[in-house]
Amino acid sequence: MTLDKKLTCATCGGELVADKERNLYKCEYCGVAYGYGLFDGTAAEKAEKSLSIGEFNDADLYYTFVLSMEPNDITALRGRVFCAGKWKKTSDLMTGKGELTGVRADGVKQRCDEAIKKVSEEDAKYFNVIKDFVDASSIYHDAKAKAAPILKREQRLFDRSLEVDNKVEKMERSYERSRRRNASLTELILNAPNPQAAPDELKSAWDVADIMHNAVTDSGKESKEIQDKIFAYANRRNGLYKKIVDMENQMFPKE
């Protein structure tokens, strides 16, 4: 390869000028220099290999050089999106590696926006779906994070309610044994237990049990609402992922 091919700077978009003595390209605008070895025709292969083994910084560098020669190369544009998401392959979008929030999510969407400006309207749909997926994933993971303490609280209330119920049950058995010991046979046959005659301690325990039952019921309703939302977010996320896979099967059939 000669150093005469026109290239653009991946940093600022300026034209790279060949420095034949030093065997490199240099941007006249921002001053960034690129070694000739990075333009030896194998940058795309190196990018794909680096991405496949999780060397995202190296992969991003190689993809950047590919784009300096072919600004509309959709594989390289996709590769830079995957580097921002720390995804080695498409299935990583649905694993823990797909948990995008904050800066990382913004980085992926920024790369998608850059790609959308350089590809056809039809191909831009693919990058827009990735952006939608990132938004759906962020909402999904945020909802799960917010739900965690609420679900833990519900479990604590449920456990506490069981403790109260067990205590009340023991007090009721004790009260019933005492009532039977002190009652005549006729009284036992004719009279059912009278809650009003129960000792104050047992009445108070019943009140506490009622309060706990109501708290568990209210907490359960809140948890169900949250879980229903999480389920809806998950369904949307799953649908977008399937759409990404279907689009990739058409756009990148070799993967």
Angle separating helix axes 56-69 and 74-85, nearest 10 degrees: 160
What is the C-alpha separation between 30 and 19, in angstroms, rounded?
15
Least confident window among 61-75, 179-193, 198-212: 179-193
DSSP class of residue 125 equals H
Q: What pLDDT is attached to residue 182?
A: 64
Distance CA 50, CA 58 (A): 6
Query: pTM for this structure?
Result: 0.67
Inter-residue contact 118 to 126 (CB < 8 Å): no
175: amino acid identity, one letter: Y
Report the C-alpha gap between 48 and 56 in whole angstroms: 10
Pairwise pLDDT comparison (178 vs 5), residue with the higher score? 178
Beta bridge partners of 34: 25
What residue ranges do the domains of the chain occupy? 1-71, 143-251
Q: Which residue has the higher pLDDT, 52 or 204?
A: 52
